[in-house]
């Protein structure tokens, strides 16, 4: 199972490189089910792995002139504040047991259930048809800040990169073209994930040897993914990956519910 876990590290980077997002959807299940890492710790590790990997992807896109730093920081600041506060203060405050009767609902079960729901939403986001009618959409700075802060809280809770939430927001509210939205999203994911991970460093004992070796394989994967991206139909890839995410979400739901 450990060998499969490290193969999964390559897959995480590969998906990020191919699609500009979605790699974080795989990270937590791989860490929890293949490498037997406790969910709260796995979600913390996921933030570091996805942050480092996305950083390399963002740099590659920066060299192509695709990263919009102005709007990137506009989204990233309230978002990473939400991620940091969630990982530093909210997650440690969650009770170990939410409900005792009639069924036992633990913190681990709650977080994995929430993660499965996020995966289903991510798959829906990838499968739904994009619309270009965004001209009539207007949003205030306060609304944008509250929205991205809320995204940060969600990212912090489940250890996901949040690209499936960030990319539509960049397209809808900032009117970025899809390629720029994907590239800028990787930049935002990098900041969100690494700053969120700082909140965990103060709460957890980190296995740096494992984390750095796993992240290194994921970085190799993103370079392979970026290279292969030019040869693969992106829309078909995202559709196929979306269905794979749905299957993974179903697996997590069955796995968690059957142990109740």
Tell me which residue of 159, 150, 162 sits closest to 121, measured CA to CA.
162
Average pLDDT over every residue of 38-65? 90
Q: pLDDT digits over 53-88, tens only? A: 989 989 988 998 989 999 899 888 998 899 889 988
Report how many domains make up the chain: 1
pLDDT at 138: 56
Residue 167, pLDDT score: 76
CA-CA-CA-CA dihedral for 57, 60, 66, 70, to nearest 10? 70
List pLDDT tens digits, range 152-201: 898 888 877 677 678 777 877 778 887 788 888 889 989 888 888 988 88
Neighbour tally for 174: CB within 10 Å: 19
Beta bridge partners of 106: 97
**Residue range of the domain that includes 224:** 2-257
- From 64, 20, 2, select the one nearest 167 (Cα to Cα): 20
Count Cβ neighbours within 10 Å for each residue of 181-202 and write b for 16 or more, e otherwise.
bbbbbbbbbbbbbbbbbebbee
Q: pTM higher than 0.85, yes or no?
A: no
């Amino acid at each position: 199972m450990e060998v499969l876990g490290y193969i999964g590290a390559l897959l995480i980077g590969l998906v990020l490189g191919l699609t500009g997002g979605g790699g974080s959807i795989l990270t937590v299940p791989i860490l929890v089910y293949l490498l037997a890492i406790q969910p709260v710790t796995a979600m913390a590790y996921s933030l570091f792995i996805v942050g480092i990997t996305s950083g390399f992807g963002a740099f590659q896109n920066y060299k192509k002139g695709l990263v919009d730093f102005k709007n990137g920081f506009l989204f990233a600041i309230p978002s990473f504040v939400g991620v940091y506060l969630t990982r530093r203060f909210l997650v440690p405050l969650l009770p170990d047991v939410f409900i005792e009767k009639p069924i036992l609902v633990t913190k681990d079960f709650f977080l994995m259930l929430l993660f499965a729901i996020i995966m289903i939403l991510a798959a829906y986001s990838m499968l739904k048809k994009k619309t270009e009618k965004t001209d009539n959409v207007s949003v205030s700075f306060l609304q944008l800040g509250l929205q991205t802060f809320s995204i940060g809280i969600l990212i912090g809770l489940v250890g996901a990169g949040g690209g499936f939430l960030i990319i539509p927001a960049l397209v809808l509210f900032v009117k970025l073209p899809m390629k720029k939205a994907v590239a800028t999203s990787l930049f935002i994911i990098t900041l969100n994930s690494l700053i969120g991970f700082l909140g965990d460093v103060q709460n957890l004992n980190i296995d740096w040897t494992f984390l750095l070796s796993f992240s290194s394989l994921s970085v190799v994967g993103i370079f392979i993914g970026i290279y292969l991206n030019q040869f693969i139909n992106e829309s078909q890839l995202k559709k196929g990956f979306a269905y794979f995410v749905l299957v993974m979400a179903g697996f997590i739901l069955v796995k968690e519910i059957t142990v109740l």
